[in-house]
Amino acid sequence: MFESCKICIAGLPGIGSVGKVACEYLATALESSTYKSFFSRVFPAQVMVSDGLSELLHAELKVPKDRKNMLILSGDAQPQDVVGMHWLAAEILETLKEEKVTDVITLAAYVGDTKEKVLGVASDFDSAAALTQNKIPLLRTGAIGGLNGLLAGLAPLHEMRGFCLLGTSSGADLVDIRAATSLLEALKELLHLDLEISLMEPETESPVEFAPEDLDMNYR
């Protein structure tokens, strides 16, 4: 399905930080280095502070070591308004197009009544059929908000295929490790990755960097 493709896997903050946690674990596990940072006025008006040092909110595009066919995108926050969402999504997708990316796979959370650990969405019929052939059931109805939805949905307008994988979450946890792990397991099978998922929990024990009242987390 993705054998001859160049893929960008993206996960921005949302419910349970599911996509963000999965993406950042993947970037660490694959020994990724930062390729480009996206700073924008559409992010919340604050800086993150660690050990007395401040840093602007931003998104980072990373390149895994020894993997020329993959990029990983994660970020500190979602834009604050709809216009900002579309503006930043377009900037990111244009960058990916310049890098000859063919497929954008976003990671997010699904809160709902289902027995499935992971659900999938694609931007065209053939791609959706390919997900089901790879044992990823489809989300039949609903909506995916924020950049995790927009990047997948707008990808065809930038000549790329768009996918979103959603890890089932209760929505009650600030950081849902179980749902993020389910996404990594699905990615491992889908992309044939040599990935040690059993290390997931120790890698993500550290406290989350922001509180829910500080940033809008109401996106999948």
Sequence-ordered strand ranges (E) for the chain: 7-11, 33-39, 47-50, 53-56, 58-63, 70-75, 103-110, 118-122, 161-168
**Domain coordinates in residue numbering, the chain:** 7-203
> Is 212 a residue whose pLDDT tops 70?
no
211 — pLDDT class (breaks 50, 70, 90): very low
The C-alpha atoms of residue 163 and residue 97 are separated, in whole angstroms, by 16
Q: What confidence score (pLDDT) does residue 200 get?
A: 79
> Is 190 a residue whose pLDDT tops 50?
yes
Q: What confidence score (pLDDT) does residue 201 get?
A: 65
185 — pLDDT class (breaks 50, 70, 90): very high
Compute the average pLDDT of residues 78-96.
Answer: 97
54 has which bridge partners?
49
> Is 28 a residue whose pLDDT tops 70?
yes
Cβ burial 66-90 (10 Å sphere, 16+ → b, else e): eeebbbbbbbbbbbeeeebbeebbe
pTM of the model: 0.90
> Is 29 a residue whose pLDDT tops 80?
yes
Tell which CATH architecture fits domain 7-203: 3-Layer(aba) Sandwich (3.40)
For tokens 């602007």, what's the residue? 56
The C-alpha atoms of residue 213 and residue 46 are separated, in whole angstroms, by 13
The C-alpha atoms of residue 165 and residue 120 are separated, in whole angstroms, by 5
36: its two tokens: 């480009």
